[in-house]
A and B are shown apart, each in its own frame.
Chain A
Amino acid sequence: MSAAPPPPPQPPTKPQVKAINCPKCGAAIELRSFGKAETVVCGSCHSILDATDPNLKILQTFEIKMREAGPRIPLGKRGKLRGVDYEVIGFQRRSTLVDGTRYSWHEYVLFNPYKGFRYLTEYDGHWNDVGPCKMLPTIVPSNPPKATYLGETYKHFQTCTAETSYVLGEFPWQVRVGEEAEVTDLISPPRVLSSEKSGDEITWSLGEYMYGRDVWAAFQMPGNPPPAVGVFENQPAPVNESVKGVWSAFALHSVLLLALLIVFSVFILRDRQVFSASYSLDAGPQKGEGSFVTDEFELGGRTSNVEVTTHADVDNNWIYLNYALINQGTGQAWDFGREVSYYHGHDSDGNWSEGSRSDSVIVPSVPPGTYYLRIEPEFAANHPRINYAVQVKRDVPVLGFFGLGFLALLVPAIAVTWRRFNFERLRWAESDHPLVTTSSSSSEDD
């Protein structure tokens, strides 16, 4: 046994950020993922290097186009997502060709030494917080395909070939500019299930939609995030709108409206006939004024309506009655003229008829009191004998108001449904399964 005290044990090694130099151009590169990166890109000469090789073998060099923009969120920036700090360590731009147009999107590689890797994707101002799936989703064979994962069903949105066009920073897999992968997205807003097939390998990820302003807040970015254009595949419908809720409220209110009608008709409204008389007009041209007054009748209860119904046995003829409903006591009068006409005949299409032998009018807000009608008939020059009857009812239900009420209830429900439909139409417009197809819609991508 040695006499000298043993050396103190080495403290556990603290993983360090590794500083290296690009073997091609000598620029300084920092490896910030503590040995977890597989490839790292030199920001100066755009060489893709093997991060696991101590000599940093050069795997590929690519050229960037003149005005190719870099990441909006710079490498090295840290942000808090769901309470966990992540650092942006990598960035890539990928694109796909649909109907001759190239659509590109961005992917940020995020790293936390305790939690591993996550990804932030951005397309046209729409962001997604993406992580790898721990378990395999179940594919449901159907047309179009569906998948279930963690109790949720996802509908197929799009399958396309994604090509990597620009890379920067560190990646936990082998990246190459120009590499292609078949990407399939299945949606269940606000989530998206994404599968990536490259060669024989399929990896599944789960993403959740994030608004640009929340990404900017998480990473404490200055200024404004890129504006969101259109509706994205898994963008949630506006949160405070519940189409189903509005329709169930509509149903309830419609039932209440019907109940109101019943309550009025049965309990509140008198709906009582207060006057009825029959008259006749002799045939031939009429002499004299022709106007006359009826006997008096009582209109009781509160101020309410009065229904005056005219029945006339006109046959291919008409009669026009100038009515005045006059209050015996106050002299207040309501003036209205009603036409009763009825025509019928027979032609090549069969029997036809036009008009009606009776007419009804409702006079509004008539105070109670003793009333009589002054009637002045008008008629065609030469007419046969016309018999007509006049009935007066007090306090009748006005179905028109209930009809209007029903329409008033219906209109906002339809408006909300239309808005949601429009939103979903925009959502699916960019997919492989648009809701509304026009002649210029895109065909399936191979």
Chain B
Amino acid sequence: MIRRLYWIYGLLVLAGTSFAQYSGWSLDKTTALKNIPKSVRDNPGSYRSIYQSYHHYTGGK
């Protein structure tokens, strides 16, 4: 009984190790950040047309 349980457990361990290796996991600590702005222009308000191209003077005198 114990032997059979161990067999199943062992296969799970092998499967887990394979999955970890194949998925490219790691034991080291790194911080994954999404969307570091490449430039100042890449910001949440950049959809405004004013930022899409060269900024012409729009102000007054």
- Indicate whether A and B are direct neighbours in the complex (CB within 8 Å): yes
Point out residues on A near B: beta carbons under 8 Å: 240-242, 245-246, 249-250, 252-253, 256-257, 260, 264, 268-269, 302-305, 324, 326, 330-336, 361-366, 395, 397-398, 400-402, 404-405, 408-409, 412-413, 416
Contacts of A333 in B (CB 8 A): 32-34, 36
Instruction: Report Cα–Cα, A416/B9, bound state, in Å.
Output: 14
Contacts of B56 in A (CB 8 A): none
Contacts of B35 in A (CB 8 A): 330-332
Query: Judging by beta carbons under 8 Å apart, are B13 and A332 in contact?
Result: no
**Contact flag A334-B28 (CB < 8 Å), given A240-B2, A260-B18, A398-B21:** no
Contacts of B16 in A (CB 8 A): 405
Query: Judging by beta carbons under 8 Å apart, are A413 and B14 in contact?
Result: no
**Contact flag A246-B13 (CB < 8 Å), given A331-B42, A336-B29, A362-B28:** no
Instruction: Report Cα–Cα, A366/B22, bound state, in Å.
Output: 12
A116 to chain B, nearest CB (A): 39
Contacts of A249 in B (CB 8 A): 3, 6-7, 10
Give me 10 other A-B pairs in contact (C-beta within 8 A), A240-B2, A334-B33, A412-B6 excluded. A253-B10, A253-B11, A256-B10, A331-B35, A334-B31, A335-B31, A364-B24, A364-B28, A365-B25, A405-B13
Instruction: Report Cα–Cα, A331/B37, bound state, in Å.
Output: 7
Query: Judging by beta carbons under 8 Å apart, are B30 and A331 in contact?
Result: no
Query: Judging by beta carbons under 8 Å apart, are B36 and A331 in contact?
Result: yes
Contacts of A408 in B (CB 8 A): 13
Interface pairs A-B: 5 shortest CB-CB: A304-B24, A240-B1, A364-B26, A253-B10, A305-B24
Quick check: is B38 within 8 A (CB to CB) of the other chain? yes
Quick check: is B49 within 8 A (CB to CB) of the other chain? no
Among B2, B17, B28, B33, point to the contact of A335 (Cβ < 8 A). B33
Quick check: is B58 within 8 A (CB to CB) of the other chain? no
What are 25 inter-chain pairs, A to B, with CB distance below 8 A? A240-B1, A241-B1, A245-B2, A245-B6, A249-B6, A250-B6, A256-B10, A257-B13, A260-B14, A302-B24, A303-B23, A331-B34, A331-B36, A331-B37, A331-B42, A361-B28, A361-B30, A363-B26, A395-B24, A398-B21, A398-B27, A404-B17, A408-B13, A412-B6, A416-B2
**Contact flag A335-B30 (CB < 8 Å), given A240-B1, A250-B6, A365-B25:** yes
Contacts of A305 in B (CB 8 A): 24-26
Contacts of B22 in A (CB 8 A): 264, 268, 304
Query: Judging by beta carbons under 8 Å apart, are A413 and B6 in contact?
Result: yes
Quick check: is B50 within 8 A (CB to CB) of the other chain? no
Instruction: Report Cα–Cα, A303/B26, bound state, in Å.
Output: 12
Instruction: Report Cα–Cα, A104/B43, bound state, in Å.
Output: 88
Instruction: Report Cα–Cα, A365/B26, bound state, in Å.
Output: 8
Question: In the complex, which residue of chain B has the Cβ closest to the Cβ of A243?
Answer: B2
B6 to chain A, nearest CB (A): 5
Contacts of B18 in A (CB 8 A): 260, 264
A407 to chain B, nearest CB (A): 9
Instruction: Report Cα–Cα, A303/B32, bound state, in Å.
Output: 14
B39 to chain A, nearest CB (A): 10
